[in-house]
Amino acid sequence: MDEKEENLGSFDPNIPEEGPSAPPPGWLEDIHGYQGPNKEGPEDDEPLYPPPPAYNPQPELNRSTSVPTVRVPSVSEDVARDALLKFVESKWKYSSKPARNLTFKDLKPVTVYRYRLETYTETRTSAWQFEPYNGQPVDGPQHGMSPPPWDIPVSVPPVYTDKVEKIRVPHSSFVKMCHKCRGCGRTRCSGCFGRGMRCTFCHGHGRARNKRCTSCHGRGRKRCLSCRGDGYKTCSVCHGAQNLLHFIQLTVTWKNHVSNFIPDRQPDFPDRKFEKVSGDPFFIDENVLVYPIQGFPDKEICDVSTKFTNEHLLRFTSTSRILQQRQTIELVPLTHAFYSYNGKDYSFFVYGTENKVFTSKYPTTCTLF
């Protein structure tokens, strides 16, 4: 055993055990206007700051929005046939012969409206953060009082664009001894209890299963692989800097909240298909706050407009700032095509401005035999 290895195993009481990775309660200072959990943790632990009442718009009483009437579109036989042929080409088991030779019996357009309400909000939360202190400038309370969360200026992204921005709150920084290593810059190795040598296989006894330990050759001591025999590790929090720079980080979140509704107008057509196609947005109403639609021929659209606008107002003004709203009515094309082939009746749907096709039954399928 060499001299260095002989010296291993000495215990240094000045090197502390690892402390918690987050500061203990009461470790951090209170910053006016940022009361909340004094700990650095996941975003779920960040205190939420509802905007002051003056930041959110107030709805006007008895306001409503009128919508123009619109003509229901229909597709021709040629368009319906071309749409079915494209659909058949994407299905390797289907033959294109029925699509080419079918006889149309009727094309029935179905009136389908899609209502959408978008509410663009801004939300502000905060949490304590820290970084190793290596002499960088400290913007602390000596430079003034930290501004309240909603007084900190930010650059708003393009409307309806989701974005998250993190900002260091002015004058909230201060330097404090690292809580994990208690200012030593290093912590005792938990693998060897700070002694640099310990056989983890026989736990220092020299024997395992009533036999001489083959890992340490019966010595009960072996250079600790975790700390390479030093008995300590560089602090994982301050990285050896001994001190930490604490500061409050403000998180500003912009999010577009969308609610969609399509009335069920055709029981044989699955409404989920509408989610992947476009419609004709013949009505777009955009303002800081939009108001319920009244007088539209489809009363279900009027009812859901009232429901969604009330829900969004109650839901988001309690936690966030509403920046903009937009409500849209799209006319989503849907045509039920009835046809016959080889003396039997069939049907399919053409839907969306993309002229997608849905059918639950097709005349023939190709076989490999």
Query: Mean pLDDT score of the chain, rounded to an integer?
Result: 86
Quick one: pLDDT at residue 358? 95
Kindly state the average pLDDT of the residues 301-306. 94
> Could you tell me which residue, 363 or 5, shows the higher pLDDT?
363
Could you tell me if 216 and 202 are in contact, meaning their C-beta atoms sit under 8 angstroms apart?
yes
Query: Who's near 14: CB < 8 A, 6+ residues apart?
Result: 184
Predicted local distance difference test score (pLDDT) of residue 36:
54
Residue 295 backbone zone (phi > 0: left; psi -120 to 50: alpha; other: beta): left
In DSSP terms, 125 is beta-bridged to 48, 251
- CA dihedral (216, 222, 228, 231) in degrees, to 10, reads 160
CB 151 within 8 A of CB 232: no
Whole-number Å distance between alpha carbons of 262 and 114: 5
Residue 275 has pLDDT above 70, yes or no: yes
Q: Is the pLDDT of residue 368 over 70?
A: no
What are the sequence ranges of the domains in the chain? 77-120+253-358
Task: Name the percent of the chain lying above pLDDT 90.
Answer: 53
Q: Is the pLDDT at 110 greater than 60, yes or no?
A: yes
C-beta neighbour count of 214 within 10 angstroms: 10
- β-sheet bridge partners, residue 130: 246
Question: pTM of the prediction?
Answer: 0.77
> Rounded distance, CA 259 to CA 309, Å?
10
**pLDDT tens-digit map of 141-194:** 999 999 999 999 999 999 999 999 999 999 999 999 999 999 999 988 877 777
Query: CA–CA separation, 202 vs 222, rounded Å?
Result: 10
Give the mean model confidence (pLDDT) for residues 23-52: 70
Q: Strands, E, within the chain: which ranges?
A: 103-109, 113-132, 163-168, 174-177, 186-188, 207-208, 211-212, 232-234, 243-261, 280-287, 321-331, 334-341, 344-351, 356-358
Q: pLDDT tens digits, residue range 4-29?
A: 444 444 567 777 777 777 888 778 87
Distance CA(71)–CA(13), nearest Å, equals 86
Neighbours of 170 (CB within 10 A): 17
Q: What's the burial of 231, exposed, middle or buried (CB within 10 Å: 0-12/13-18/19+)?
A: buried
Residue 197, pLDDT score:
73
CB neighbour burial string for 154-166, b if at least 16 within 10 angstroms, e if fewer? eeeeeebeeeeee
Question: CA 35, CA 230: separation in Å to the nearest integer?
Answer: 42
